[in-house]
Amino acid sequence: MENAEWNRDELLKQSTDLILEYLEQKKYFMARDELMKYNAADIAEMLEEVSDEASLRMTVILFRLLPKDVSVDVFSYMSSDGQVDIVSEITDKETQFIVDELDFDDKIDILEELPANLVNRILEKTPRSERHLINTFLNYPDNSAGSLMTPEFVSLKKDWTVREAMEHIKEVGTDAETIYTCYVRDNAWKLIGIVPLSTLVVTNSDTKINEVMRTEFVCEYVDTDQEEVSDDFQKYDLIAIPVVDKEYRLVGIITVDDILDVMEDEATEDIERMNGVIDLDNSDSDYLDISVIQHAKNRLPWLLVLMIAYIFTGMIVTNFENALSSMIALVTYMPMLMGTGGNCGSQAATLIIRGLATGEVELDDWMRIMWKELRIGVVVGVVLSAVNFLRVTIIDGQSAIVAVTVCTSLLFIVMIAKLIGSMIPLIVKGIHLDPALVANPAISSVSDAIALSIYFVMAGLFLHV
Give the integer Cα–Cα distance in Å for 383 and 387.
6
Domain segments of the chain as ranges: 2-141, 155-262, 287-463
CATH of domain 155-262: 3.10.580.10
Give the integer Cα–Cα distance in Å for 141 and 81.
21
- For residue 323, what pLDDT is reported? 62
- For residue 449, what pLDDT is reported? 87
Residue 376 pLDDT exceeds 50: yes
Pick the CATH number of 2-141 from 3.90.1200.10, 3.30.200.20, 1.10.3720.10, 1.25.60.10: 1.25.60.10
Reduced to 3 states, what is the DSSP secondary structure of residue 198?
A: helix
When pLDDT is averaged across residues 322-335 and rounded to a whole number, the result is 76
For the ranges 11-20, 112-121, 142-151, 289-298, which has the lowest average pLDDT?
Answer: 289-298
In the CATH scheme, what is the homologous superfamily, with its name and number, of domain 287-463? SLC41 divalent cation transporters, integral membrane domain (1.10.357.20)
For the ranges 150-164, 265-279, 423-437, 439-453, which has the lowest average pLDDT?
Answer: 265-279
Residue 59 pLDDT exceeds 70: yes
Q: Are strands 250-255 and 155-157 parallel, antiparallel or unpaired?
A: unpaired
pLDDT digits (tens, 9 = 90+) for 10-23: 888 889 889 889 88
When pLDDT is averaged across residues 243-263 and rounded to a whole number, the result is 91
- For residue 1, what pLDDT is reported? 45
Contact indicator for 319, 309 with CB cutoff of 8 Å: no
Reduced to 3 states, what is the DSSP secondary structure of residue 220?
A: strand
If pLDDT is split at 50, 70 and 90, which confidence band does 273 have?
A: low
Residue 164 pLDDT exceeds 80: yes
Residue 455 pLDDT exceeds 70: yes
Reduced to 3 states, what is the DSSP secondary structure of residue 182?
A: strand
Contacts of 239 (CB under 8 A, 6+ apart): 178, 180, 181, 255, 256
Phi, psi for residue 150 in degrees, rounded to 5: -125, 145
Of 401, 411, 388, 412, the C-alpha closest to 464 is 401
For the ranges 32-41, 154-163, 200-209, 455-464, which has the lowest average pLDDT?
Answer: 455-464
Residue 327 amino acid letter: M
